[in-house]
Amino acid sequence: MGSWRNLVFLFHILINIVGLSISQPDFVFVDCEESFGNYTTNSTYHTNLNTLLSSLSSNTNRFGFYNSSLGENPDTVYATVLCRGDIDLDSCHSCINNATSKITQDCPKSKEAVGWYDLCMVRYSNKSINGKANASGYCSVNPLNVLSVDQFNKSLTTLFDRLISQAAAGGTLQKFAMGNVSGPDDQTIYGVAQCTPDLSEK
């Protein structure tokens, strides 16, 4: 009788482990653009989306960027992936694999969506997105308080003005900049700026 209980207990643990390995971590930010319409399950658009998303990780270059499209109008799907410029390619591929699996779970049937992790993002649409900026993004909140708010904001603005210019001026392979600046009250402020390299500097 005891061995039967042990077997059931081990089976329960195995099921939980398998379930954990299949599920993807939550995005830090996700936007399902329902205003662009929805697709139906098993439609041509749905098939094109799944096929395109499954190819993104393996085609991402060493700079962490890839964009592509698949299908004929009106079922064309456009997609872009971008990894943070300071991570290695294996971490990038792993992040993209998670993102491309998670985006269709979080945005079922949406014809346009974007999902952000700390290390990468995935975006797809039924309209061309190559060379077009997307204003969506997210903020990570630091729980620490700033005592000298005006001086902190001035230092922050100085840092991001510099990083934005550096990232935008990057080449066609990568537009990434990171740095820090001394802030008030002996604080160091760190920042990262990145654009998809298909965007012009302007």
pLDDT at 202 over 60: yes
H/E element, 69: strand 65-70
pLDDT tens digits, residue range 27-58? 999 999 888 789 999 999 999 999 999 999 99
- What is the Cα–Cα distance from 144 to 183, expressed in whole angstroms? 14
> What residue spans define the domains of the chain?
25-125, 149-195
Name the CATH superfamily, with its identifier, for domain 25-125: Gnk2 domain, C-X8-C-X2-C motif (3.30.430.20)
pLDDT tens digits, residue range 78-95? 999 999 999 999 999 999
pLDDT at 4 over 60: no
Mean pLDDT value of segment 122-151 = 84
